[in-house]
Amino acid sequence: MTEISPAALDPHSKAATLAAALPYLKRYAGKTFVVKYGGHAMGEETLGKLFAEDVVLLKQVGLNPIVVHGGGPQIGAMLERLKIKSSFVDGLRVTDRETVEIVEMVLSGSINKEIAASINAAGGRAIGLSGKDASLIRARQLKRTKKDPDGNVEKQVDLGFVGEPWHVDAEVLQTLARSDIIPVIAPIGIGDHGETFNINADTVAGAVAAAVRATRLLLLTDVAGVLDKSKKLVSELTVAEARAMIADGSISGGMIPKIETCIDAVEGGVEAAVIIDGRVPHAILLELFAEGAGTLIRRRGRKR
């Protein structure tokens, strides 16, 4: 998709665009939005710059953005560079003690600070956090079972330091919301005994959104959204409809955990969750201030 530079628009077009956004600005003033940042949107320099500018714009016009980021490819590259082998179970990286140290280094020490710096360079005031800071994200080991193909018996798989959040300290984030600071959160959690846990970034974003009762959870992905069996974009789904599409196979593969994250967030108090294509320039602005740009999931009813 070709980006149109603001300078290329005539003054009347600029004024009309701002006027068209006014109802959305009034509707969302003071509301919290959690954005999961990953995929091509995070890996491509131009898109990364536009993302930072869009997040700053949200804060400047009175919204409260919270960014949660991933970093799977960067973690994989560092582990390969250090000649540390990885294995996966259901898409989750088995994380031993040596690996979790690398994961934390990449997520909290490298990517997190780069994103915060990018937002700051765009004129915002971002602060990089991990779930260990102020015990923001309390986590426990994620349990997974797998069937033995020979005996058809379910066995528990030890994923090591892969975690799931059980508590997010909303007060920490609410304190930041009352300031001009934009939180950028790495998906690292802390256990009851000080352990470091690697957590799926979508899962963290959903848990954070539910904890702060966000108006929207926005998951930036590398697809346009949910497609029906005719490969057409579905602009809106209720929770019941989303579950039905999983049951009939319309939603499959890697989209299932994303939809489940959206459902959990919505059932946890988030007004709506949206899966949008992070490869599209200004995807966040198109979703919030235009007619929508992806697939929106809410508990019931239809109202963009």
CATH of the domain at 189: 3.40.1160.10
* Tally of domains within the chain: 1
170-184, 189-203, 242-256, 287-301: lowest mean pLDDT where?
287-301
Rg, Å, the chain Cα set: 19
Q: What is the pLDDT of residue 24?
A: 81
Residue 283 lies inside a defined structural domain of this protein? no
Q: Is the pLDDT of residue 111 over 50?
A: yes
Highest mean pLDDT among 27-36, 152-161, 247-256: 27-36
In the chain, % of residues over pLDDT 90: 60
| Cα–Cα distance measured from residue 206 to residue 261, given in angstroms and rounded to the nearest whole number | 6
**Residues 234-245: pLDDT tens digits?**
999 999 999 999
The pTM is what?
Answer: 0.90
Q: Which residue has the tokens 């966040």?
A: 284
Interatomic CA distance for residues 252 and 17, integer angstroms? 37
Helix (H) or strand (E) holding 92: strand 92-93
Cα torsion for 294, 44, 106, 97, to the nearest 10°?
60
Asked whether residue 95 is domain-assigned, the answer is yes
Domain extent for 161: 65-199
7: pLDDT strictly greater than 70: no
Residue 183, C-beta contacts closer than 8 angstroms, at least 6 positions apart: 66, 67, 126, 127, 129, 173, 176
Which helix or strand (DSSP H or E) is residue 295 part of? strand 294-298
CA 43 distance to own-chain centroid: 14
> Looking at residues 161-179, what average pLDDT do you find?
93
Domain membership flag for residue 187: yes
Asked whether residue 268 is assigned to any structural domain, the reply reads no
According to the model, what pLDDT value does residue 38 have? 86
The tens digit of pLDDT for each residue in 279-297 reads 999 999 999 988 778 999 9
Indicate whether 1 pLDDT > 60.
Answer: no
Smallest CA-to-CA distance from 281 within 118, 41, 33, 21 is with: 41
Reading the block at residue 183, the tokens are: 């939180």
Per-residue pLDDT, 73: 87
**Full 3-state SS string of 162-228:** EEEEEEECHHHHHHHHCCCEEEEEECEEECCCCCEEECCHHHHHHHHHHHCCCCEEEEEECCCCCEC
Give the pLDDT confidence score for residue 216 in this predicted structure: 96
